[in-house]
Every structure is written in C-alpha cells, then in structure tokens.
Amino acid sequence: MIYLVVKAAVGLVLPAKLRDLSRENVLITGGGRGIGRQLAREFAERGARKVVLWGRTEKCLKETTEEIRQMGTECHYFICDVGNREEVYQTAKAVREKVGDITILVNNAAVVHGKSLMDSDDDALLKSQHINTLGQFWTTKAFLPRMLELQNGHIVCLNSVLALSAIPGAIDYCTSKASAFAFMESLTLGLLDCPGVSATTVLPFHTSTEMFQGMRVRSVAWDPLPEPGPSSRWGQGKGSLYTESANPGALYLWLCSLVPDSPSARQ
C-alpha cells in the first residue's frame, strides 16, 4: 500500500512519459460511437499502428472506421457482442488472423437499462451484467495470454464514477460497473509481477453521450462532460491511456475500509 501511495504522489509531481504507440495494435470495444469513437480518433492522432473496432451496430462501425482511415491509420471493424463468450473468442481469433496481435485492449462497451430494481426486466438486468462486466472477462481472457507471451500489453477499462458512488434508477449499471471495478483492481494487482503488461481503470463522470441522453444533475457545478470530440474538455483526462500511471483504486478501497460511510455500513 505504501508503494502505491508513493507512486501516485510521484506521478502528481513529475510529468508522465507518453507511450510510443507506433508499434501498438489497439482494440476498442464499443468503438462505433461516443467515447469509443473519440478514443479511436485519439489513438490514431497519437500514431497507433492499427486500430480495431468492435461493436454491434455496423453502420456506426463503418462510419468510424472510414474516419480513422482518412486520418491515415489502418483501421478494421468487427461485429461482436462482448456479452456472448463464444462470439468474443471466435472474433478474437479472426482479429489475430487478419490484423495481428492486439497489444492495447480498451474495454469500453457498455449498456444501461436505467430503471429501479422492481421496474427492471430480468433479461435487461442480465444483459447489463453480461456486457458491462462479464464481457471484460471474455475479452481479457482472449487477448491477455498473448500479451504475457510478448511481455507487451495494456488492458484499459472505461468504467464510470458510478462504480464508486451509486445513484437510484440505474441499479443495473451501477452494479455492473462496481463489479468491473473490482475485476480491474484484482487484475491490476495480479499483473504487478508481469513485465511489460499493465492495466488502467478510467472513471469518467456523466458524459453527454447517447447512452445517458436525458439525464440531469442537481448542480451546475456537476454538469455532464460534453459529447466526446476533438475540442471537448473530456479529452483532458485522456493522457492516462498513454502513460504508465498509478491506479488509485486500491488506495480508495483501503481508505473506505478504515472509514466506512456507505448506507449499508451504517445499518
């Protein structure tokens, strides 16, 4: 724990060195729209060798792929539902055969049902868990072994601040994101002794994407981040994807264990 605190403190003082992406093949799930589309742009601008997009809507995937190719970066798309384990493994095999080894995996795909528990359809609840949580298990299992062999790889999870601070009316999303957060914390700790392979969890605030259209916040100070785009302030946090930065999640969990403040802890 002391090591994590010191590493995080040093990272605040000294600027992190940007990673050279010229030899990296990047795969982004949910890459057809929203944050996934913007990440594809950012990786292309940063000089990624190849960008691969996964998603369920071919129209969006085609549009994003064409845009990235016009930027001069080789880009491919594959239709894949990350909530379907066998489909993930089959598509991963197709990616390796057509594109090559994936060295940066960005788990971005997610869905939200947006209802209370009693108003939620069982199938919709299962869908959220399969895509938002289990999907990351399957994609990571598909690509991590080769990263370990190459001693070169980075697993990135685009999570949400709701993983740490839940809200009513989105019980499926909050639960799945909390599960994904725990998954990444365990994975990150497990990779500490694996040279060249690391993991990063990103916890964005409410972003004005199609998935959260119509959501309102109580205070102007907490206005949602704008639709991801080249000039949006959303991009201010993108640097963590290109650097070897400390993950503060373990510190957060440790502090919470000392000062429990959740409603359930007060019962």
- Evaluate whether 227 touches 209 at the Cβ level (below 8 Å): yes
Q: Is 227 exposed, middle or buried (0-12, 13-18, 19+ CB in 10 A)?
A: middle
Amino acid (1-letter code) at residue 101:
D
Q: What is the DSSP code (8-state) at residue 225?
A: B
Q: Is 242 a catalytic residue?
A: no
Question: DSSP letters of 60-88?
Answer: HHHHHHHHHHHTT-EEEEEE--TT-HHHH
Question: DSSP letters of 144-209?
Answer: HHHHHHHT-EEEEEE--GGGTS--TT-HHHHHHHHHHHHHHHHHHHHTTTSTTEEEEEE----B-S
- Evaluate whether 206 touches 174 at the Cβ level (below 8 Å): no
Q: Residue for token digits 């369920």? A: 56
- Evaluate whether 233 touches 225 at the Cβ level (below 8 Å): yes
- Evaluate whether 36 touches 109 at the Cβ level (below 8 Å): yes
The answer for 183, left when phi > 0, alpha when psi is -120 to 50, beta otherwise, is alpha
- State the catalytic residue, choosing from 3, 89, 173, 242: 173
Task: List, by residue number, the catalytic residues.
Answer: 173
